[in-house]
Amino acid sequence: MPEEVLAIRHLKKNFGELTVLEDISFSVGEGEVIVIVGPSGCGKSTLLRCINGLEGIQGGEILLRGTPVPKKGKDLTKVRQKIGMVFQNYELFPHLNVLENILLAPMKVQKRTREDVKEEALAMLSRVGLESKAESFPRQLSGGQKQRVAIVRTLCMHPDILLFDEVTAALDPEMVREVLDVILGLAEDGKTMLIVTHEMQFARAVADRVIFLDNARICEEGTPELFFDKPKTERAREFLKTFSFQRKSRKRQEVS
Amino acid sequence: MPDLGFEVLLKGKNMARLLGGLGTAMQISMISVAISIFLGIIVGILMAWKNPISRAVTRCYLEIVRIMPQMVLLFLVYFGSTRAFGWNLSGELSAVIVFSFWGTAEMGDLVRGALDSIPAHQYESAWALGLSSGQVYRYIVLPQTVRRLIPLAINLITRMIKTTSLVLMIGVVEVLKVSQQIIEANRMSSPNAAFGVYLVVFLLYFAACWPISLLAGYLEKRWR
């Protein structure tokens, strides 16, 4: 059993009257890749936001390497360095160029030297094929390039766990691949990741374990093979059906 | 071509006096602008706070400044304070007080608008990287706010420069007052001087504000 990086116990979250997450419990081991899927509005993104304290929680606990994630203040800031998050809309800082975007947090938060981080940043940029864009500004990049920079920016903080919140949802289809390939590469490296996505093919390829959320609860949990091929619950079967297409009839058959 | 009375400006030290008047106007406006920008940033942050008390107080302040004509404020500070508190404020000081009071409110509102226009996601992605709230403001929010502010602030600065012409009403001898004096003194010898002198005043104001607009254009391009 690998060491437990993140543990969530009986997490409860509501926005006023609306219950968004109810009794969520699971844990993520070192080097494990967990993909969270589920219909829109089931609370997937909120779950990620709760983990690094962007949303408050109403019950239960979130433990990072055995210590609870604080609600706010300096301690939360410290823990957030250990939890990397990549957002749907990249959220690069538009007034800084690619390199400065990446260097900011390691230099200001972790007080590392510029040379040290720069070397690492350039190495990572070249790994995602963007070494020539180090001096570019975010507005000069395509969506897929921005998202790769956002991933590098998060990686340079050396987080214990990476959270990906529908990172390809805002991209044009042909750019999805380049971003997902980067994430697949990270999985190969043994990074611990929690991924929310609507790309089922990708989920199947990258996941060690799939969690299916529906109606604020964990509805099903299992290996990708089991979940995608033999889903246990009716809800999961219905959900997966929305991703496969079938014509009821074929014109050729009609003719004959 | 009709006689526009330009020759008046060449008499004696008239041109130098006019430039001196412009200097006084620029001095008052630049000091006020500097104070307004500094205090305006603080007031703007208070305005953007979710705290209802700070919102109410700054809102009242802004409304008062917007409703009161600057002239009334000038009279209130220059004449009113003498009667009420026995203070003997100079015209220049009164002007600086009034223009700073006005500029701070307007600047504050611009800062608030610029702060509000920074999307919530920018804060979140910075927090997610482990930046503290102070660092988020310093490295992410303020630089972006400043970039959005530049064109708006330049507009305010030029308005402040132009509005300094009001201070002649409380006895400050600035460019407009000097030009009136020149015209008065030469009423007999060149009765048409008003046009020429005021035209020069117009050009002087233009010369003062134009470089600021150019600077704004340059910064906007550079920071786009």
In Å, how far is B137's CA from the nearest CA of chain A? 12
The residue among A68, A34, A37 whose CA lies nearest residue A51 is A68
Please tell me the predicted confidence (pLDDT) of residue A251. 63
Which region holds residue A18: left if phi is over 0, alpha if psi is between -120 and 50, else beta? beta
Query: Beta-carbon neighbour count of residue B157 at 10 Å?
Result: 22
Q: What is the pLDDT of residues A45-60, one digit of tens each?
A: 899 999 988 998 998 9
Q: Verify whether the Cβ–Cβ distance A93 to B144 is below 8 Å.
A: yes
Give the mean model confidence (pLDDT) for residues B131-140.
Answer: 91
Could you report the predicted ipTM of this complex, rounded to two decimals?
0.87
CB-nearest partner of B129 from A53, A89, A105: A105
Residue B83: inside a domain: yes
CATH of the domain at B192: 1.10.3720.10
Q: Verify whether the Cβ–Cβ distance B122 to A52 is below 8 Å.
A: no
pLDDT value at B2 more than 90: no
Q: Verify whether the Cβ–Cβ distance B124 to A95 is below 8 Å.
A: no
CA dihedral for A74, A76, A78, A81, sign (positive or negative): negative
pLDDT value at B219 more than 90: no
List the domain range (segments joined by +) for residue B193.
6-223
Residue B1: inside a domain: no
* B125: closest chain A residue by CA: A91
Residue B199: inside a domain: yes
What does the mean pLDDT of chain A come to? 89
Please tell me the predicted confidence (pLDDT) of residue A132. 93
Interchain contact B117–A (C-beta under 8 A) = no
Please tell me the predicted confidence (pLDDT) of residue B193. 83
Q: How far is CA B216 from the centre of its chain?
A: 15
Q: What is the pLDDT of residues A181-203, one digit of tens each?
A: 999 999 999 999 999 998 898 99
H runs (alpha helix) in A52-142: 73-80, 98-108, 114-127
The answer to whether residues A218 and A195 touch, using CB atoms and an 8 Å cutoff, is no
Please tell me the predicted confidence (pLDDT) of residue B224. 65
The pTM of this model reads: 0.79
Contact residues on chain B for A110, CB-CB shorter than 8 A: 130
pLDDT value at B21 more than 60: yes
Give the mean model confidence (pLDDT) for residues A53-75.
Answer: 88
Q: What is the pLDDT of residues B78-110, one digit of tens each?
A: 998 888 888 888 888 999 999 999 999 999 999
Q: Verify whether the Cβ–Cβ distance B128 to A78 is below 8 Å.
A: no
Please tell me the predicted confidence (pLDDT) of residue A253. 55
CA-to-CA distance for A52 and A62, rounded, in angstroms? 9
pLDDT confidence of A1, banded at 50, 70, 90? low
Residue B20: inside a domain: yes
pLDDT value at B1 more than 80: no
In Å, how far is A34's CA from the nearest CA of chain B? 20
Q: What are phi and psi of A212, to 5 degrees?
A: -105, 115
Q: Verify whether the Cβ–Cβ distance B130 to A157 is below 8 Å.
A: yes
Q: What is the pLDDT of residues B105-129, one digit of tens each?
A: 999 999 999 989 999 999 999 999 9
CB-nearest partner of A85 from B128, B132, B140: B128
Number of domains in chain B: 1
